Amino acid sequence: MAVPSFDTVSAPRAAPTPPVDRSYETLMREALLGAGTSVWEWDIASDIISGIDGSMALLGYAHHEVPPNQDSWNRLIHPDDLQNNRADYEQHARGETPVYESEYRARTRDGGWCWLSERGRIVEWAADGSPKRMVGTLIDITPRHVAEGAVREMAERLREIGRHVPGVVFQYRRRPEGEANFPYVSETCMAVTGLAPELLMDNAAAFLRRTERSDRARILNLIEQSRRTLRPWHCEFRLHMPDKQVRWMSGAASPQREADGAVLWHGYVQDSTDLHELEQERRARLAAEAANSAKTVFLSRMSHELRTPLNAVLGFSELLAVDEQEPLSERQQRRVGLIRDAGEHLLQMIGELLDLTRIESGKLAVELADVVLAPLLNESLEMLRPKADAVGVVMSLLPMDESLKVRADPKRLKQVLLNLLSNAIKYNRRGGTVSVSSEVQTGRIAVHVADTGVGIASADLQSLFEPFNRLSHQHSTIEGTGIGLAVTRSLVDLMMGHLAVRSRLGHGSTFSVVLPAVDRAAARDQLVSLPT
């Protein structure tokens, strides 16, 4: 029921109301109450409400359990709704609204709250212009409010989800005549695309204008295919951001046809730039691996094919040099010697190529054993001493503990030492020196090969172990392929060791081979722990 005004309210008088058939009125009241609607009549002057029992029945109260006056009814209205209810009545009483309408909560008999929708009209006025009689209806709208609350809660939940997902949730509708719009775009749209959701919902074409021009036709074609077939839409495209960056986007949506023939897509768009770049890197890596594998196979096969004719060349050059029946002249001997030297250099290069291809393909195995260093170092020095003497380089082995042992493959360790010593001679200067020393470290032993040669520029040290990279010697007269150091480091790695270099341009270089040490403790368990 309405709340009476405590001030005198004047309003235009209504036309006289004809007499009402009370029996018909009772029947109508009962019919409406059965439909969940209460009909009431309020005598404002006496503050007596007729039909209040029907209103009370909606709230679960028994007959005459609540006095039939406005004050009793006001005590049932929720305190938070009472003021608005009074304002709605007074607005009608002043003639500002043709009908009194108010929605509020009222307490039920079991202590709960019921939402009511009340409508009424003042139908009779007193001689002084004040309201005299009012009639109206009361309807229980609790189920509607519960449903609306559930809808609001669900909508808020969806908005909350939309705020936290990393992409943009959207609805896109396309009508049969081609008109399109976004009924819904999540709040994350601004962060992901740089476009305000309101802008897209107002103008769907704004999104297409920001896409890469060459991608637009493909996007529209895929949308059209999805519209015709009702199959999911998937697309990757580029989007121009406000800061001029171009970002990759990945979109997916599921279509459904509506009653008017339009198609509504429910979809999701996310920034896929990082994934796209990772995919590009993966493809590039696979292509590089395929190319590297092809190169490895080619080098391996070519190396094997070259060894046969090369061995024949070297063999016949040896026969020519030792032929006693048809001895060569001194000049011819020199020329045959050049052939032999060139052939041996080529054979060494082929051997290095074969080692490199085996290492890269994982087919080169090492057999680790306890190796006494001193004899191996002496043997290596002696093998290359003639080469050093020929170019005026002095080689020496500094004093060392004769019992030092390392865990290594004897054959491959000798190959490593010969390569380092050979380079120390090759890149040295006449009158220079090559010294070999050893250093006992924690759990390991380092062998240092130091020379007084040309040295290496600091900028070249990072590329020193790259295959086929001869750095500043690319166009020099010093022979080499740039393979040896790459093979050397790989062999040391396979033996669980480490190859390091220190060098200054013009002041020589020191290469250090660090390998696991073998001592009494290590010999018991054959295990050496190396620092990284």
| pLDDT tens track for 277-317 | 888 888 888 888 787 777 777 766 776 777 778 788 888 88
Q: Give the H or E element holding residue 184.
A: strand 180-185
Q: What is the pLDDT of residue 313?
A: 81
Tell me the pLDDT tens digit for each residue of 394-439. 999 999 999 999 999 999 999 999 999 999 999 999 999 999 999 9
Confidence band of 476 (pLDDT split at 50, 70, 90) = very low
User: Residue 453's closest CA among 514, 383, 414, 395?
Assistant: 395
Q: What is the pLDDT of residue 252?
A: 95
Q: What is the mean pLDDT of residues 244-249?
A: 93
Q: What is the pLDDT of residue 57?
A: 85
Q: Is-same-fold flag (22-140; 163-271)?
A: yes
Average pLDDT of the chain is: 84
Token pair recorded at residue 67: 């006095």
Can you tell me whether residue 371 is helix, strand or coil?
strand
Helices 330-360, 273-322: axis angle to 10 degrees equals 150
Helices 52-59, 22-34: axis angle to 10 degrees equals 10
Q: What is the mean pLDDT of residues 31-50?
A: 80
Report the alpha-carbon distance of residue 104 to residue 73 in Å, rounded: 12
Percentage of the chain beyond pLDDT 70 is: 86
Tell me the pLDDT tens digit for each residue of 205-241. 999 999 999 999 999 999 999 999 999 999 999 999 9
Q: What is the mean pLDDT of residues 153-159?
A: 74
Least confident of 247-251, 256-260, 344-348, 367-371: 344-348
Q: What is the pLDDT of residue 8?
A: 38
Q: What is the mean pLDDT of residues 173-186?
A: 91
Q: What is the pLDDT of residue 93?
A: 93
Q: Is 133 left (phi over 0), alpha (psi -120 to 50) or beta?
A: beta
Give yes or no for residue 13 having a pLDDT over 60. no
Strand order in the sheet with 113-125: 48-50, 37-43, 131-140, 113-125, 100-107
Fold of 369-525: Heat Shock Protein 90 (3.30.565)
Q: What is the pLDDT of residue 380?
A: 92
Highest-confidence segment of 10-19, 23-32, 152-161, 491-500: 491-500
User: Residue 360's closest CA among 413, 296, 305?
Assistant: 296
Q: Which CATH architecture is the domain 163-271 placed in?
A: 2-Layer Sandwich (3.30)
- Domain borders along the chain are 22-140, 163-271, 282-360, 369-525
Q: What is the mean pLDDT of residues 23-41?
A: 66
Q: Are 430 and 451 in contact (CB under 8 A)?
A: no
Phi and psi, residue 248, nearest 5°: -85, 135
Report the alpha-carbon distance of residue 493 to residue 489 in Å, rounded: 6
Tell me the pLDDT tens digit for each residue of 66-115. 899 999 999 999 999 999 999 999 999 999 999 999 999 999 999 999 99
Q: What is the pLDDT of residue 267?
A: 93
| Partners of residue 499 on adjacent β-strands | 513
Q: Are 513 and 447 in contact (CB under 8 A)?
A: yes
- 489 vs 14: which has the higher pLDDT: 489
Torsion, CA 277, CA 463, CA 486, CA 413, rounded to 10: -130
Token pair recorded at residue 90: 């007074």
Instruction: Show Cβ contacts of residue 73 under 8 Å, excluding neighbours closer than 6 positions.
Output: 1, 49, 52, 55, 66
Torsion, CA 76, CA 82, CA 87, CA 89, rounded to 10: 0
Tell me the pLDDT tens digit for each residue of 335-381. 888 888 777 777 777 777 777 777 777 777 889 999 999 999 999 99
Pick the CATH number of 282-360 from 1.10.1900, 3.60.60, 1.10.287, 1.10.3470: 1.10.287
Least confident of 18-22, 126-130, 391-395, 488-492: 18-22
Report the alpha-carbon distance of residue 406 to residue 493 in Å, rounded: 14
Evaluate the CA torsion angle 213, 218, 222, 225 in order and state its sign. Answer: positive
Provide the CATH number for the domain formed by 22-140 in this structure: 3.30.450.20
Instruction: Kindly report the number of other CB atoms within 10 A of residue 195's CB atom.
Output: 19
195, HSE (Cβ side, Cα atoms, 13 Å) = 25
Terminus-to-terminus CA distance in the chain, angstroms? Answer: 87
Q: What is the pLDDT of residue 34?
A: 58
Q: What is the pLDDT of residue 531?
A: 34
Report the alpha-carbon distance of residue 176 to residue 367 in Å, rounded: 76
Phi and psi, residue 409, nearest 5°: -90, 115
Report the alpha-carbon distance of residue 505 to residue 458 in Å, rounded: 8
Q: Are 238 and 248 in contact (CB under 8 A)?
A: yes
Q: What is the mean pLDDT of residues 385-396?
A: 93
Highest-confidence segment of 10-19, 219-228, 323-332, 484-493: 219-228
Q: What is the pLDDT of residue 522?
A: 43
Q: What is the pLDDT of residue 514?
A: 96
Tokens 């890469």 belong to 212
Q: What is the pLDDT of residue 520?
A: 45
Q: What is the mean pLDDT of residues 187-212?
A: 91
Confidence band of 526 (pLDDT split at 50, 70, 90) = very low
